[in-house]
Amino acid sequence: MRAFLLVWTALWISGCAAAPTAPVIRLADLRPLSAKATGEVLPLRVSVAAVISPKGTAEGYQPLLDYLAAKLDRPVELVQRRTYAETNDLVEQGFVDLAFVCTSAYVAGHEKFGMELLAAPQVSGISVYYSVLIVPASSTAASMADLRGKVFAFTDPMSYTGRVYPTYLVQQLGSTPDQFFVRTFYTYNHDDAVRAVAQGLADGAAVDSLVLDFALARDPALAKQVHVIHRSSAFGIPPVVVNPNTRPQLKATLQSLLLNMADDPMGKQALQALGFERFVPTDDSAYNSVRELVKAVGPLSP
Amino acid sequence: MKERQLSPTHPWFSRFWAVAGAVSIRTKILGIVLGLVLVLGITVTVQVRSVLTRTMDMQLEEQGISVARDLAARATDLILINNLYALHQLLRDTQANNGNVRYAFVVSPQGQVLAHTFGDGFPAGLLDANTVTSDAHHHSITLNTDEGQVWDTAVPIFEGRAGIARIGLSEAGLRRTVDGITGQLLLTTVLVSAIGITAATLLTWVLTRPVLDLVRATQAVGRRDFTARVPRWANDEIGELADAFNSMTAALAKADLERAEREQLRAQYVSGVIAAQEDERKRIARELHDSTSQSLSSLLLGLRAMSDACEQADIRHRADELRMVAADTLEEVHTLALQLRPSMLDDLGLPAALERHVADCQRLHPLHIDLAIKGLNDQRLPPTVETALYRIVQEALTNVMRHAQAQTASIFIERHSHAVRAIIEDDGHGFDLAQVSSNDGHLGLYGIRERAELLGGRLTIESEPGHGTSLFIEIPLSSKEENHA
C-alpha cells in the first residue's frame, strides 16, 4: 500500500516537472527596431560581381579583404549583388570604393559612366581569359552546332564569357539563342552554370575559364562530370575598377596595395586564395577585342 | 511483531475497515472496480502525458534545429547579395510551411535584425535572449513568453559571417496535442468507469441476489418458518451454500417437528399427571369426607351415647376424652380433605375457594393478604383454568409464607376478553433472578410456570433482593372455554 503510494506520487511529480524560471518575453508587444549606431570609422566598401556564388565569393575574397583592411587600418566590407548590372550600379553611384567586375560589365560601365580600370589579375603570366563551352561528360556534342535544340545555361545577362560569347557562336551558326536552343536559363554565376551542366540540368554552358579552372581545382570530382568542347580566343581578363570620381589619393593607395600584393606575405596568400599570381596595371585597349565582339553581337535583352 | 503489517489489528486497517466494512457489498464492489479503473486510468494518463510531453519536446527541439539550419543554408546567398526582400520571403515561407514556427528572424554579424516575421516592430528582449557562437552547430533554449514556452534555436549562417538565423517554435500546438490526448484518455477512463459500474452492478446483482435470498430465508427460519427454501442460482460456492442452507432448514424442520411432538407428548403426560393427581386428590378428599368423616361422626355419636348411658364416672370421663380425640381427628380430616381438594372450588368456583384458602392461610400465618378478583362473578372459568389458578395461588402463597418473610402479600386476578391475568406480589426480601434457575430447588416456581404453560399461558417473574417479588401470570382463554358456564 505504501509502496504503491510512493510510486503513484513519483509518477505524479514526474508528470508535472517544474519549468525553469526566466524573464517573460512578450511576443505580441512589438517595439520599433533601434538601428545600432554604425562605427565611427567608415568601412572601405568592396564589391565583387557574382562571377561565382555569393558564398564562394565571400570565402574566396575574404583574405584579400583582410589584406586591404590590415594595410588601410580600416574595416572592409564586402558588398555583393545578384547581377553584374547591379554591381555596376553600385560603382556608378559611388556606393562602393572598389569593384571586381566582369569584362563586358567593364566595357558597358566604361561606356556609360567612365568606369576606371585600376588593375587586372595575372594568371600564368598573362592577363587574359577565355570563354569555354562545356557539356556533361556523357554528352556526345563536339561543338556549339551539336547543341541545337538543347537546353543552355547562361550565367549572367551581362556576362561576357557566359552570354555574349555563346550568343556570338550561335549567331555565327546563323541563328539566335531563342531559336537555337529549346530553352535557356540564367544561373547568375559561373559556379552554378558548371554545376547545372555537371548535374545534367543544362546540356551546355559557356563559362569563365578562370572560374572553371578554379572550380575543377577545388573539386576534382567535377572534372569527371563536365567536358570542354570549345575554347574562345583570349580576351581581357575581368578587371578591378573604381568610380571615375574616386579621390585620386585613395585610388593611388588602392592601386599600390593591389600591385604590391605579391610582395607581401599576407597579400600572397590572398592572391593564392583567388588563384591569381599578382595584380598588374592594365589599359583600356586590352578590352578592344571584347568591344568589337559585343558590338558584333548587338544589344542583348537585359 | 505484527505492527509492521496491515494486520486486522492495525489502527489504519481498523479505521479503514470502520468505513469500508460498513457499506453494502454493492458499494464495496463498485468501489473496488471504480477505484481500480480510476487508478489505472489516471496513472496511464499521467504517464502517457509525461512521456508524450518529453518526446514531443525533443521532437520540437529537433524540428527547431533542422528548420533553423535549413533557413541558415538558404539565407546565406540572400544575405551576401543583400537581397532582403527574398530573405524576408524566405522567413515568411519558413513560417508558413512549418506549423509550429512562431517567429523567424536573421541577425547580421553586427547584431542588427536584417529580416523578421513580426511585421511592424520587434519584441523587446527577444534579440538578446539567445545567441550562438560561429563555430557551434546550434544553440537552443526555452523562452518563457506571454504565449507560453517557445523553443528558440540560433544557428550561425555561413559560419557566422552572414550572421545568425533564429527560429522560435511555439509549444502551444504541442500542448494542444498533449491536452487532446490527455482528454481522450480521461474520456476513455470515464467510459471504462461507466462500463465498470455496469459490470459491477451486474456482478453485485449476481452475487447479492442469492445472498439476499439467504438472508430472507434465514430471517424466516428465525421466525420458526422452516418452509423457506433458497433457489440454487449458480453451480458455485454460493450455490453450495444454498444447498447447505436448504438441507439445514430441512433438518431444522424435522427436528422442530420432533421437538413439537415430544413437547406435545410431554404436555399430555404432565397434564395427565396433573389431572390424575387432581382426580386422586378429589377421590381421597371425597373418601375422607364421605367415609372417614362419617365413621368418625358415628364414633362421636357412639361415644356421646356411651358417656350419657354410663354411670361410672371414670368410664364416662374416658369416653369424653376419646370423644374429644375423635372430634379433633374429624377436624383434621376435614382440613386435610379441604387441602387436598376444596370442594368449594368445584361447587362455588374460584373466588370462593381462594377467599377460603386466604382466610385459612391468615389463620395459620401472620401475613396480611389482600385478595382482589375482577370479572369472575358472572361467569366461571374453565375447570382446568380454575384449578390451575387455584394451585398457582396456593403454591405462590406457600412460597411467600415459607421463604419471603413478607409482611403483606396481594393477589389480583382479572378476567379479560381473551385471557385471565393474575398478579401475586409480596414485600419480602426477594431474590436475584439471574441466580435462580428452574431446577435450583425452586420447584414451586417451576410448577407455577409448568401449569401456566400447559394452558398456553406464561409466567413473568420480577424480583430483586430487598425489593419483594412479583409474579405475572397470563392464561389465554379460547372462545370455547370463554363461554364455559
Residues of A in contact with B124 (CB under 8 A): 25-26, 29, 31
Cell numbers given for B483? 363461554
CA distance B178 to B185: 10
Q: Residue B227 phi/psi, 5° resolution?
A: -85, -15
Chain B nearest CA to A204, separation (Å):
24
In this complex, the residue of B81, B122, B158 whose CB is nearest that of residue A30 is B122
Cell numbers given for B465? 433482593
User: In this model, does residue B349 exceed pLDDT 60?
Assistant: yes
Residues of B in contact with A28 (CB under 8 A): 123, 146-147
Reduced to 3 states (helix: H, G, I; strand: E, B; else coil), residue B301 is: helix
Residue of B78, B219, B57, B72 lying closest to B151 (CA atoms): B57
β pairing state of A44-48 and A98-100 = parallel
Report CA Rg, chain A.
26
Residues of B in contact with A195 (CB under 8 A): none
Residue of B152, B137, B151 lying closest to B73 (CA atoms): B137
Chain B nearest CA to A157, separation (Å):
17
pLDDT tens-place string over residues B239-297? 888 889 899 889 988 998 999 899 889 888 888 888 888 888 888 888 888 888 888 88
Poorest-pLDDT segment among A179-183, B334-338, B364-368: B334-338
Quickly count: other Cβ atoms within 10 Å of residue B183's Cβ: 11
Residues of B in contact with A25 (CB under 8 A): 123-126, 129, 143-146, 150
* Mean pLDDT calculated for residue range A193-199: 92
Cell numbers given for B209? 441476489
Band (pLDDT 50/70/90 cuts) for residue B1 is very low
For residues A145 and A193, state if they share a domain: yes
CA distance B156 to A145: 47
For residues A175 and A100, state if they share a domain: no
Please check whether residue A195 touches B, CB under 8 A.
no
Reduced to 3 states (helix: H, G, I; strand: E, B; else coil), residue A122 is: strand
Please indicate whether, in this complex, the C-beta atoms of A31 and B43 are within 8 angstroms of each other. Answer: no
Residues of A in contact with B142 (CB under 8 A): 19-20, 22
In this complex, the residue of A14, A36, A55 whose CB is nearest that of residue B80 is A55
* Mean pLDDT calculated for residue range A192-211: 92
> From the centroid of its chain, how far is CA A244?
23
Please indicate whether, in this complex, the C-beta atoms of A22 and B149 are within 8 angstroms of each other. Answer: no
Please check whether residue B103 touches A, CB under 8 A.
yes
For residues A192 and A256, state if they share a domain: no
Q: Residue B301 phi/psi, 5° resolution?
A: -60, -45
Taking the CA atoms of residue A184, residue A185, residue A188 and residue A193 in that order, the dihedral angle to the nearest 10 degrees is -70
For residues A99 and A143, state if they share a domain: no
In this complex, the residue of B46, B112, B144 whose CB is nearest that of residue A24 is B144
Residue of A242, A217, A7 lying closest to A114 (CA atoms): A242
Q: Which residues, other chains included, contact A222 with Cβ-Cβ below 8 Å and sequence gap of 6+? A: A194, A195, A198, A215, A216
Residue of B459, B365, B458 lying closest to B408 (CA atoms): B365
* Mean pLDDT calculated for residue range A12-29: 63
For residues A263 and A219, state if they share a domain: no
Please check whether residue B16 touches A, CB under 8 A.
no
pLDDT tens-place string over residues A93-131? 999 999 999 898 999 999 999 999 999 999 888 889 999
As a whole-number percent, the residues of chain A with pLDDT over 90 amount to 63
The terminus-to-terminus CA distance of chain B in angstroms comes to 79
Considering the domain boundaries, does residue A20 fall inside one? Answer: no
Residues of A in contact with B168 (CB under 8 A): 27
| Chain B residue with Cα closest to A14 | B50
* Mean pLDDT calculated for residue range A41-64: 87
How confident is the model at residue A36, as a pLDDT?
Answer: 56
A7 near B39, Cβ under 8 Å? no
Instruction: Please give the C-alpha separations between residue B124 and each of B91, B118, B127, B380, in angstroms, as whole numbers.
Output: 19, 12, 7, 119
Cell numbers given for A190? 559561373
Residue of A206, A260, A255, A202 lying closest to A235 (CA atoms): A206
Region at B58 (left for phi over 0; alpha for psi -120 to 50; beta for the rest): alpha
Residues of A in contact with B102 (CB under 8 A): 27
CA distance B363 to B377: 25
Please indicate whether, in this complex, the C-beta atoms of A36 and B111 are within 8 angstroms of each other. Answer: yes
| Chain B residue with Cα closest to A5 | B39
- Looking at A189, A207, A232, the residue that finishes a domain is A232
Reduced to 3 states (helix: H, G, I; strand: E, B; else coil), residue A153 is: strand
Region at B186 (left for phi over 0; alpha for psi -120 to 50; beta for the rest): alpha
Chain A nearest CA to B52, separation (Å):
10
CA distance A141 to A130: 20
pLDDT tens-place string over residues B438-449? 455 466 788 888
Please indicate whether, in this complex, the C-beta atoms of A12 and B46 are within 8 angstroms of each other. Answer: yes
For chain B, what is the total number of helices (H) and then of strands (E)? Answer: 12, 11
Chain B nearest CA to A125, separation (Å):
32
How confident is the model at residue A65, as a pLDDT?
Answer: 93
In this complex, the residue of A19, A36, A57 whose CB is nearest that of residue B110 is A36
For residues A59 and A181, state if they share a domain: no
pLDDT tens-place string over residues B18-70? 888 888 877 888 888 888 888 998 899 999 999 998 998 888 889 999 999 99
Poorest-pLDDT segment among A173-182, B245-254, B399-408: B399-408
Region at A51 (left for phi over 0; alpha for psi -120 to 50; beta for the rest): alpha
Residues of B in contact with A36 (CB under 8 A): 110-112
Which residue in B81, B84, B175 has the most chain A C-beta atoms within 10 A of its own C-beta, making it the best mutation to test that interface? B81
Query: What is the reported pTM?
Result: 0.58
Please indicate whether, in this complex, the C-beta atoms of A8 and B43 are within 8 angstroms of each other. Answer: yes
- Looking at A206, A232, A258, the residue that finishes a domain is A232
A26 near B123, Cβ under 8 Å? yes
Please indicate whether, in this complex, the C-beta atoms of A25 and B126 are within 8 angstroms of each other. Answer: yes
For residues A225 and A265, state if they share a domain: no
User: In this model, does residue A10 exceed pLDDT 70?
Assistant: no
Residues of B in contact with A81 (CB under 8 A): 81-82
Cell 539563342 belongs to: A177
Residue of A179, A163, A129 lying closest to A293 (CA atoms): A163
For residues A101 and A243, state if they share a domain: yes
| Chain A residue with Cα closest to B50 | A15
Cβ-count burial B220-250 (b if 16+ within 10 Å, e if not): ebeeeebebebebeeeeebeeebeebbeebe
- Looking at A232, A249, A265, the residue that finishes a domain is A232
Which residue in B15, B57, B77 has the most chain A C-beta atoms within 10 A of its own C-beta, making it the best mutation to test that interface? B77
Considering the domain boundaries, does residue A91 fall inside one? Answer: yes
Please check whether residue B125 touches A, CB under 8 A.
yes
User: In this model, does residue B7 exceed pLDDT 80?
Assistant: no
User: In this model, does residue A8 exceed pLDDT 60?
Assistant: no
Q: Which residues, other chains included, contact A30 with Cβ-Cβ below 8 Å and sequence gap of 6+? A: B118, B119, B120, B121, B122, B123
Report CA Rg, chain B.
55
Q: What is the DSSP letter of B459?
A: E
Please check whether residue A98 touches B, CB under 8 A.
no
Which stretches does DSSP call E strand in B366-465? Answer: 368-374, 408-415, 419-426, 458-463
β pairing state of A98-100 and A183-186 = unpaired
Band (pLDDT 50/70/90 cuts) for residue B484 is very low
Considering the domain boundaries, does residue A248 fall inside one? Answer: yes
Residue of A130, A298, A104, A296 lying closest to A228 (CA atoms): A130
Cell numbers given for B342? 376444596
Please check whether residue B179 touches A, CB under 8 A.
no
Reduced to 3 states (helix: H, G, I; strand: E, B; else coil), residue A161 is: helix
How confident is the model at residue A7, as a pLDDT?
Answer: 55
In this complex, the residue of A12, A15, A27 whose CB is nearest that of residue B147 is A27
Which stretches does DSSP call E strand in B349-429? Answer: 368-374, 408-415, 419-426
Beta-ladder partners of B199? none
CA distance B201 to B426: 63
pLDDT tens-place string over residues A228-278? 999 999 999 999 999 999 999 999 999 999 999 999 999 999 999 888 999
Domain that holds residue A119: 44-124+238-297
Please check whether residue A30 touches B, CB under 8 A.
yes
Residue A219 belongs to domain with CATH number: 3.40.190.10
CA distance B453 to B480: 19
CA distance B312 to B166: 168
A184 near A151, Cβ under 8 Å? yes
Considering the domain boundaries, does residue A37 fall inside one? Answer: no
For residues A185 and A263, state if they share a domain: no
Band (pLDDT 50/70/90 cuts) for residue B472 is very high
How confident is the model at residue B479, as a pLDDT?
Answer: 58
User: Which positions 43-82 of A are in contact with B (Cβ < 8 Å)?
Assistant: 50, 53-55, 57-58, 62, 78-82
More confident call, B403 vs B96: B96
Considering the domain boundaries, does residue A10 fall inside one? Answer: no
Q: Which residues, other chains included, contact B259 with Cβ-Cβ below 8 Å and sequence gap of 6+? A: none
In this complex, the residue of A12, A25, A55 whose CB is nearest that of residue B144 is A25
Please indicate whether, in this complex, the C-beta atoms of A54 and B76 are within 8 angstroms of each other. Answer: yes
Long-range residue pairs from A125-128, CB within 8 A, at least 24 positions apart, any chain: A125/A277, A126/A234, A127/A236, A127/A237, A127/A280, A127/A282, A127/A286, A128/A234, A128/A235, A128/A236, A128/A237
As a whole-number percent, the residues of chain B with pLDDT over 90 amount to 21
For residues A167 and A217, state if they share a domain: yes
Band (pLDDT 50/70/90 cuts) for residue B2 is very low
Q: Is the ipTM of this complex over 0.85?
A: no
Please indicate whether, in this complex, the C-beta atoms of A27 and B119 are within 8 angstroms of each other. Answer: no
| Chain B residue with Cα closest to A49 | B81
pLDDT tens-place string over residues B83-140? 888 999 999 999 999 888 999 999 998 888 999 999 888 998 899 889 999 899 999 9
Chain A nearest CA to B138, separation (Å):
20
Please check whether residue A187 touches B, CB under 8 A.
no
Reduced to 3 states (helix: H, G, I; strand: E, B; else coil), residue B440 is: coil
Considering the domain boundaries, does residue A29 fall inside one? Answer: no
How confident is the model at residue B271, as a pLDDT?
Answer: 80
Please indicate whether, in this complex, the C-beta atoms of B122 and A58 are within 8 angstroms of each other. Answer: no
B390 near B274, Cβ under 8 Å? no
Considering the domain boundaries, does residue A16 fall inside one? Answer: no
Please indicate whether, in this complex, the C-beta atoms of A30 and B143 are within 8 angstroms of each other. Answer: no
The half-sphere exposure of B16 on its side-chain side, counting CA atoms within 13 A, is 10
Which residue in A7, A27, A76 has the most chain B C-beta atoms within 10 A of its own C-beta, making it the best mutation to test that interface? A27
In this complex, the residue of A14, A19, A32 whose CB is nearest that of residue B121 is A32
A39 near B132, Cβ under 8 Å? no
For chain A, give the mean pLDDT: 87
Please check whether residue A83 touches B, CB under 8 A.
no
Considering the domain boundaries, does residue A28 fall inside one? Answer: no
pLDDT tens-place string over residues A68-77? 999 999 899 8
The terminus-to-terminus CA distance of chain A in angstroms comes to 84
Which stretches does DSSP call E strand in B288-416? Answer: 368-374, 408-415
Residue of B379, B380, B387, B397 lying closest to B282 (CA atoms): B387
For residues A136 and A192, state if they share a domain: yes
B408 near B444, Cβ under 8 Å? no
User: In this model, does residue A172 exceed pLDDT 90?
Assistant: yes
Please indicate whether, in this complex, the C-beta atoms of A29 and B146 are within 8 angstroms of each other. Answer: yes
For residues A254 and A120, state if they share a domain: yes
Please indicate whether, in this complex, the C-beta atoms of A32 and B122 are within 8 angstroms of each other. Answer: yes
Domain count within chain A: 2
